[in-house]
Amino acid sequence: MADITDGAIANYQVFRRTEGASNKTINNEVGTLRALLRRYRLWAQVSPDVRMLPVREDAGRALSQEEETTLLLACAVSRSRSLLPAVTTALSTGLRYEELRLLTWRQIDFANKAVTVGKSKTEHGAGRAVPLNNRALNALTAWAREFPNRRPSHYVFPSEKAGVATDDRIPAVFDTKPETPIGSWKTAWTTARENAGVTCRFHDLRHTTVTRLLERGVAFAVVATVMGWSPATSVRMAKRYGHIGPSAQREAMARLDSGTAGPEDSATVQ
């Protein structure tokens, strides 16, 4: 590690960009290297000349109601039977991709209508309890019926293979491994998006959840808690979503009028 220079890091950044990696991914990788070098007090000698790549903070977008409906219909006919409940749950809870993929049945409390997040991107996200609305609860309840012998330690979205059976090409699932989480929804997700004609990332489902909560007047602090944002992230998100819900913001400010003495009441104010 003592041989790592700022030039080597810069060359690595250029190389990763030629491979098609995003600036955010490259920054995460350099961040990991930074943590290692700091551990051995080597970062200070290269840090003045290391530049993180610019990352757009407004890259995410929220789906329109029409896009959501079209996308869910495409998910419903996917060969991946877990795609529809996964996308529905993501839209209804704002869970991150990995939080969703690694869910186990012990994390879902059907009686109290809540899901407890396990491993998360941040320490603020790990262990948080997210209430389940009716749509999420119904989706997960229906999905649970597919696994009558499930155990608390089993994954909600297990690894399994899908194919077609008979001449009618009826979708069939086999080789389900409940002790192993699904590796990825990448192929099924890409196919569903293309069939729906919707351009978005899986993470945009989370953006959609946040946007709709704020547009419907939910306090930002509540949204931040549900999403598992750290204080620093909350500050960034406040800037990103500051334009959302102008009508809700206007209504909130109008509430200051309630109980406030106007000019006509000045005579009664002591």
**Residue 178, domain member (yes or no):** yes
* pLDDT (0 to 100) of residue 126: 86
Same domain, 17 and 133: no
Split into its structural domains, the chain has a count of 2
HSE-up of residue 245 (Cα within 13 Å, Cβ side): 21
Same domain, 112 and 169: yes
* pLDDT (0 to 100) of residue 265: 47
* pLDDT (0 to 100) of residue 270: 41
DSSP class per residue in 29-84: HHHHHHHHHHHTT-GGGTGGG--PPP--SS---PPPHHHHHHHHHHHHT-S-TTHH
* pLDDT (0 to 100) of residue 118: 87
Identify the domain containing residue 17 by its residue range: 6-49
Same domain, 45 and 111: no
Same domain, 40 and 74: no
Closest by Cα among 42, 45, 103, 63 to 196: 63
Mean per-residue pLDDT pooled into runs of 10, the chain (270 residues): 92 92 89 92 90 75 94 95 97 95 97 91 83 96 96 96 66 86 95 96 94 89 91 84 67 68 45
Same domain, 103 and 38: no
Same domain, 16 and 122: no
* pLDDT (0 to 100) of residue 232: 82
Same domain, 23 and 131: no
**Residue 234, domain member (yes or no):** no
* pLDDT (0 to 100) of residue 248: 62
* pLDDT (0 to 100) of residue 65: 93
Same domain, 43 and 135: no
Any idea what the CATH number is for the domain that residue 170 is in? 1.10.443.10
Cα of first residue to Cα of last residue in the chain, in angstroms, is 72
3-class SS of residue 108: strand
Same domain, 194 and 92: yes
* pLDDT (0 to 100) of residue 124: 73
**Residue 94, domain member (yes or no):** yes
* pLDDT (0 to 100) of residue 58: 55
**Residue 205, domain member (yes or no):** no
CA distance 203 to 147: 27
